[in-house]
Chains A and B, each alone.
Chain A
Amino acid sequence: MSYWAHLRVWRGDAEDGQLVDYPVEVNEGEVVLDIVHRLQQTEAGDLAVRWNCKAGKCGSCSAEINGRPRLLCMTRMNTFAEDEVITITPLRAFPVIRDLVTDVSYNYAKAREIPSFAPPAGLEPGEYRMQQVDVERSQEFRKCIECFLCQDTCHVVRDHEENKTAFAGPRYLMRIAELDMHPLDARDRQREAQEEHGLGYCNITKCCTEVCPEHIQITDNALIPLKERVVDRKYDPVVWLGNKILRRGDKRVR
């Protein structure tokens, strides 16, 4: 049942590198990460790759397989033909450190720019009351495993280093949406989404949604509703208050 696959892996560092061909054995049921591990155990002990859970839960093993951003641990080998060349390259939007490992610090920097959850005044720990329907929308976004595949794929930054300063990227715009939809968050976030985190750069192409391994509807459920609220606001700033109160009945995006 096993066969030999043809792997082509990018090897190198920030200065220099090339694609290297390896024949590697594949057994039934294996994922690409298994094959990369076998490569480490046999021919390339120093091949750099990130991984932790090997179960699609931690978002560490992001790379590009045949040009598409994916998790190495959730990509089954049987999705490729046995004679197909499988090319694995590091995430393109981030600087290479070594082999398949990239410098993802952009994402952590952006995370730090988004104002945190603002606890409601007057509620002590243990006194929070929220209905399941009201938390579900933000919960969808909290499924995010921070694999940064959406950040890697979004054309606003993928080949436009210059936009990185102004644009937080889908994962962190979604974080704003998450907090904005949190039933008890006490901060007005819509103006800053537009003015400080670059919501306006997003032209809802949905590429981020397509690569999300958690199948989060980033564009439809986070970015578009956030944009709509910002637009509402432009006409009438007091809608913000109304939005916060009426949110319960707002079923627009499900």
Chain B
Amino acid sequence: MTEVQRHDYDVVVIGAGGAGLRAAIEARALGRRTAIVCKSLFGKAHTVMAEGGIAASMGNANPGDNWQVHFRDTMRGGKFLNNWRMAELHAQEAPDRVWELETYGALFDRTKDGKISQRNFGGHQYPRLAHVGDRTGLELIRTLQQKIVSLQQEDFAATGDYESMIKVFAECTITELLTSAPTGAPGSAGVIAGAFGYWRETGRFVVFNAPAVVLATGGIGKSFKVTSNSWEYTGDGHALALRAGANLINMEFIQFHPTGMVWPPSVKGILVTESVRGDGGVLRNSEGKRFMFDYIPEVFADNYATSEDEADRWYDDPENNRRPPELLPRDEVARAINSEVKAGRNSPHGGVLLDVSSRLPAEEIIRRLPSMHHQFKELADVDITAEPMEVGPTCHYVMGGVQIEADTAAAVGVPGLFAAGEVAGGMHGSNRLGGNSLSDLLVFGRRAGLGAAYYGIRLNGHRPAVDEAAVEAAGQRALVPFAEVAADAGPGVTGENPYTVHMELQQTMNDLVGIIRKADEMELALKKLEELAQRAARVEVEGHRQFNPGWHLALDLRNMLLVSVCVAKTALERTESRGGHTREDFPLMDAQWRNVLLVCAGATADELSVTHEDQTPMRQDLMDLLELDELKKYFTGEELAEHRARAPR
């Protein structure tokens, strides 16, 4: 095989978004030599696109806020399927992680008394999202990027080399995790030893030898046609984890954000931040009606206003009024919009109207929502200070991901593997609240960095050696798209164009495993995915290995297909509706299913298994943070036997 570049590190972090950068900062703080590997340039990861804010119960806007309230909101938002320990740690540690950013140089918007300002968001009881206008993700990524630079400056002062402790390998794609060579003894394989990848610029191969790898690769949205996600979101980390022997959980739960742009076609799916609604924007159908009042579900009936007057009063007097139903959790709002459009009450281009122009003065809109103003003006010729926006659901976030131990972010089943951020599963249950991702990145990015560092330290110098046969195989596999596979497959078989296969995959997932699901459609999807996998194996690309997007896509396809099968299989298996999983044939939530995690395992689509696993019962003191009447809506009777209201101490 062609020559392979080699690097030795203590910790390799795959991903330079919020989770990866925070993990790297922590690993370096513990003295571990750390590599950060990412597909794009440094500072361009998906996190840069986050808009609305970062959730943390600092209590700056409402002193009644605290971690317990945040915990409750997160569990409610996820319909109690969340890994409660992750939700607990997240709610407890988020404020410290946000304050810490200020010491790195972040400049959040301020309250009158000079603290970090916090805004309202769907599902959050109090104004809780720290923000910078509507470009919070940019502030987060830049702050962490600049913190890494400042650490490199310290290392330069100490060693004369900026990269002695932390090095960023930008535009470098990992295609395989490497484990130690099997010795034949049962359970001897499957210990992380490194990672294999290629430089996008040159196409050359690279191997990282490292005992600990942190996956922080983000999500899977590029398998769907209408999405707010970028080209990077091909589910690489999800697929890498599966192939290394780890599990994925909750893959049936995909968040369709209620408000993506719908017109013009080329921008369909681009996000319209929830802050538009948090700051007063309302949703109307073609008849001018604020339709969300018709869609308040039973479980939330106590917390949401039933009249426009009450909803409008809430912005100024949240103590004595209930919140507007536009601020229901995202799954509820997305389904409501979907129903309105289906009923024919849609806006001209098949969405509904989101109006902030009649709710705030123009200057205020421009101050609070500058990038939305810019985005609509430049891309759709719409002035949001004067007219409503047309919006509709867009694939936004995957709740599912690598199954991890909450405290250390260690992947279940693969020693040395850690996962944080969107690629990790559990924290958000069946539906994520807005703003809870950015805080998740910091809380669990830090924990993954700690976990990976300590794991390596405890190995005491016994670094597992990579399986050289696997390196060889990974290199050969990566070059398949350049071989004339189709001609070898038999007469009349032609090579496939990676872009065409990708577009058909996106259409399939969008149409058949989208926001509303049915058994027969998902069965059809699985069949189509199988066909697409066969075609993907015959993909041929032109040109050579130097910065060749066709080749890169051909390699990403394998991951997208594997992860799509996970989504379709688990979605077919779960015969209820909950959060980001809505079944037309099973429209109700079922308490028996609440306790069940669907666990995917297997290195290829053929080997993929989906098994049922019980959740760990929630600790009683956390259970007692909620009222029995509310819990009854989600839990079975036995699960609630010990609740404080039943068993008074």
Q: Enumerate chain A interface residues (CB-CB to B < 8 A).
A: 13, 27-31, 34, 40-41, 45-60, 74, 76, 97-99, 101, 104, 108, 111-112, 115-117, 119, 125-126, 128-132, 135, 138-139, 142-146, 179, 182, 185
Contacts of A99 in B (CB 8 A): 547
A27-B265, A30-B264, A40-B499 given; A47·B115 CB < 8 A = no
B138 touching A145 by the CB < 8 A rule?
A: yes
B103 touching A131 by the CB < 8 A rule?
A: no
A60 touching B44 by the CB < 8 A rule?
A: yes
A57-B48, A112-B152 given; A117·B105 CB < 8 A = yes
Interface residues of B, count at CB 8 A: 71
11 contacts between A and B (CB under 8 A): A29-B267, A29-B379, A45-B550, A54-B267, A55-B49, A56-B374, A57-B48, A104-B41, A117-B146, A128-B102, A142-B107
Q: Which 3 A-B pairs have the closest CB atoms?
A: A29-B264, A46-B543, A117-B105
Q: Is B352 an interface position by the 8 A CB rule? A: no
Tell me the smallest distance from the CB of A150 to a CB of chain B, in Å.
16
Contacts of B48 in A (CB 8 A): 52-53, 57-58, 145
A58-B49, A129-B113, A146-B142 are known; give 9 further A-B pairs, CB within 8 A: A28-B264, A46-B541, A46-B542, A53-B230, A58-B40, A126-B99, A129-B114, A130-B110, A144-B142
Docked CA distance A132–B112 (Å):
8
Q: Is B497 an interface position by the 8 A CB rule? A: yes
Docked CA distance A131–B107 (Å):
11
Contacts of B499 in A (CB 8 A): 40-41, 45
A contact face: mostly helix, strand, loop, or mixed: loop
A125 touching B230 by the CB < 8 A rule?
A: no
Q: Is B100 an interface position by the 8 A CB rule? A: yes
Contacts of A104 in B (CB 8 A): 41
Q: Is B500 an interface position by the 8 A CB rule? A: yes
Docked CA distance A182–B153 (Å):
20
Q: Is B476 an interface position by the 8 A CB rule? A: no
Q: Is B181 an interface position by the 8 A CB rule? A: no
A143 touching B138 by the CB < 8 A rule?
A: yes
Q: Is B361 an interface position by the 8 A CB rule? A: no
A60-B44, A111-B149, A142-B132 given; A130·B114 CB < 8 A = yes
Proximity bits, B91-122, A CB within 8 Å = 1, else 0? 00001100110111101111001110100000
Closest partner residue, chain A, to B374 (CB atom) = A56
Contacts of B550 in A (CB 8 A): 40, 45-46
Docked CA distance A14–B497 (Å):
27
Contacts of B152 in A (CB 8 A): 112
Contacts of A126 in B (CB 8 A): 58, 95-96, 99
A56-B374, A128-B102 given; A48·B549 CB < 8 A = yes
B42 touching A31 by the CB < 8 A rule?
A: no
Q: Is B139 an interface position by the 8 A CB rule? A: yes
Contacts of B548 in A (CB 8 A): 46, 48
A52-B46, A56-B378, A98-B547 given; A129·B115 CB < 8 A = yes
Closest partner residue, chain B, to A33 (CB atom) = B266
Closest partner residue, chain B, to A49 (CB atom) = B549
Contacts of A29 in B (CB 8 A): 263-267, 379-380
Contacts of A182 in B (CB 8 A): 105, 107
Which single member of A13, A34, A57, A74 contacts B49 (CB below 8 Å)?
A57
A132 touching B110 by the CB < 8 A rule?
A: yes
B41 touching A57 by the CB < 8 A rule?
A: no
A115 touching B541 by the CB < 8 A rule?
A: no
Contacts of B375 in A (CB 8 A): 55-56
B541 touching A45 by the CB < 8 A rule?
A: yes
Greatest chain A CB density within 10 A among B48, B142, B500 is at: B48
Docked CA distance A232–B135 (Å):
34
Docked CA distance A29–B542 (Å):
30
A31 touching B541 by the CB < 8 A rule?
A: no
Which single member of B110, B265, B500, B551 contacts A41 (CB below 8 Å)?
B500
Q: Is B371 an interface position by the 8 A CB rule? A: yes
Docked CA distance A104–B115 (Å):
37
Tell me the smallest distance from the CB of B130 to a CB of chain A, in Å.
12
Greatest chain A CB density within 10 A among B40, B48, B105, B115 is at: B105
A116 touching B43 by the CB < 8 A rule?
A: no
Greatest chain A CB density within 10 A among B142, B201, B371, B549 is at: B549
Q: Is B5 an interface position by the 8 A CB rule? A: no
Contacts of A117 in B (CB 8 A): 104-105, 146, 150
B105 touching A13 by the CB < 8 A rule?
A: no
Tell me the smallest distance from the CB of A202 to a CB of chain B, in Å.
22
A125 touching B96 by the CB < 8 A rule?
A: yes
B379 touching A76 by the CB < 8 A rule?
A: yes
Tell me the smallest distance from the CB of A101 to a CB of chain B, in Å.
5
Tell me the smallest distance from the CB of A111 to a CB of chain B, in Å.
6
Chain B residues numbered 145-165 whose CB sits less than 8 Å from any CB in chain A: 146-147, 149-150, 152-153, 162
B232 touching A52 by the CB < 8 A rule?
A: yes
